[in-house]
Structure 1
């Protein structure tokens, strides 16, 4: 009954199944590993930010350029405050507000963007306190430059004068007349009654959409493996039932009433056991009905 498994057709089906199922399991396991790596990276980044808050501050120049290992570390810089900008549409503790961003000009002529604090409500220059005068030394968490539009707001276009949508040298180059560090810090203690902005984990280290896409792909690959196995059993069952019916003579003919040797368009001959047509006899006086 199972001799059909040795036919070329079933050899191809079996080889496909034996290759497809391990491939689907491998791809599902790989996607699951990618998701677990992203989860672990997110945990490590959070731990790094927490540990950086308790570490001693280091000079800014020792921490540049900013990468995943230095992001969130406490940096110290000395200079004089200059231009001040507002960064609208920034949430803190589920409340909408804005950052007060002030440029700190250092001795080498470059300026460091410093987030001095957060205020609730719409961005309004009248609400932002003026920066301290004279030479100051600031300490805060070092952050990498943001990508323009990362907060859903254009870096410059569409914003009033004195506002920016992203904190980066590329976004601020047309707003201030001097060179900038490709980094910024947020003060551990905010100035003048503002709320301090906590440091955030480096980009590409959190559970973003890509992480959950990996998890979704994991489920899809395992579903594919189950589907291949299901279809193989279904084809096998149908083949076994067909072979059993053939052995028992239960497989019906394709066209039971058709003559096997009849040509196309030819009328089939009368059946041997059919009665001949009755022809009326004129002698009996009856008129045949047409």
Structure 2
């Protein structure tokens, strides 16, 4: 069979086979990535649209961040610590450059600090006003950001507040006393214990949660499987055709053998 496979005809088809298999495999991986993207996007959209739940039912202080709960609507009840407020930036919102205003809230249930992105400002001085007393913060959950230094030329302080390049929780755990949540919240609303909304701080705009992708969508995963089946079928067909050709050659050779034997005997 090896000798048959080395025929120019089958070698040419083998080259085409390699091209097809590589193409089908790559298309399969592409569909798999699409399936992952759509699947997690759906899961995160569902989590974001779900009814808000208390922060401690999703993640506790120092616990590993629950990735499937990213963008989950949560509520934290506690008190802001205005003295520990800082800025993260520069950041962009609706084509404007500014800063995130980050203020820790001490959660009543645990006494641990939870960083809250209270909003976006173009004027750092607008971040000075912080709601006092007990407050209920509604927002969406997010994991800490990767370490990043502020861009060159960025001032270390603005409006009297420290400026960090990213919301890196590993920095905060060494600065803030007590326990820390391994997550932060994009505030979407604040209420007093009576349920009345906290007046919006002038100049501070809520930051919409980021769009997150990833996951698995079974329909696209099926498409990926189909492409890989096509690749396997192409290999099978090439092997089958070469085998059949070799079988025909063997039968023709066997038919010629008796004639040669008779001629030799005569």
Q: CA deviation at 1:189?
A: 2.9
- Deviation at residue 101 of structure 1 after TM alignment: 0.5
> How far off is 1:187 after superposition?
1.0
- Equivalent residue, structure 2, for 1:197: 207
Q: 1:199 to 1:48 in 2, by over 3 A?
A: farther
CA distance in 2, matches of 1:25, 1:154: 48
Say if 1:178 and 1:24 are closer, same or farther in 2 by CA, change over 3 A: farther
C-alpha deviation, 1:79, in angstroms: 1.7
* Cα contact 1:45–1:201 (8 A) shared by 2: no
Give the distance between the partners of 1:204 and 1:43, measured in 2 at CA: 6
- Name the stretch that deviates more: 126-135 or 166-175: 166-175
Cα deviations across residues 36-75 of structure 1 (Å, max 9, x unaligned)?
Answer: 3333433444444444443211111221243342111111
Q: CA RMSD in A?
A: 3.4
User: Are the aligned partners of 2:89 and 2:166 in contact in 1 as well (CA < 8 Å)?
Assistant: no
Which has the higher mean CA deviation after the structures are superposed, 128-137 or 77-86? Answer: 128-137
After superposition, the C-alpha distances for 1:187-242 in whole angstroms (9 at most, x for unaligned) are 1137413221111244766xxxxxxxxxxxxxxxxxxxxxxxxxxxxxxxxxxxxx
Structure 2 counterpart of 1:77:
76
Q: What TM-score do you get using the length of structure 2 for normalisation?
A: 0.61
1:118 to 120, 136, 157: 120
Say if 1:85 and 1:203 are closer, same or farther in 2 by CA, change over 3 A: farther
Distance of 1:44 and 1:203 partners within structure 2? 8
Which residue pairs with 1:95 in the alignment? Answer: 96
Establish whether residue 177 from structure 1 lines up as the match of residue 203 from structure 2. Answer: no
Q: Which of the two has greater helix per residue?
A: 2
How far apart, in 2, do the equivalents of 1:94 and 1:33 lie? Answer: 38
**Contact 2:44–2:69, Cα closer than 8 Å, also in 1:** no
Could you report, residue by residue, the CA deviation over 1:150-204 in whole angstroms, capped at 9, with x for unpaired residues? xxx459xx76151222223213234433432111111113741322111124476
Q: Give the structure-1-normalised TM-score.
A: 0.56
Structure 2 gaps, min length 5: 191-199, 216-266
Classify the secondary structure of the residue corresponding to 1:136: strand
2:131 alignment partner in structure 1: 132
Match of 2:49 in 1: 54
Partner Cα distance (2:178, 2:66) in 1: 24
Once residues 17 and 71 of structure 2 are traced to their aligned partners in structure 1, the CA distance between those partners, rounded to angstroms, is 43
Distance 1:119 1:41, change over 3 A: farther
SS at 2:128 equivalent: coil
Partner Cα separation in structure 1 for residue 156 and residue 213 of structure 2: 28
Partner of 1:37, secondary structure, is helix
- Change over 3 Å in CA distance of 1:132–1:160 after alignment to 2: same
Structure 1 runs not aligned, ≥5 long: 1-7, 206-290
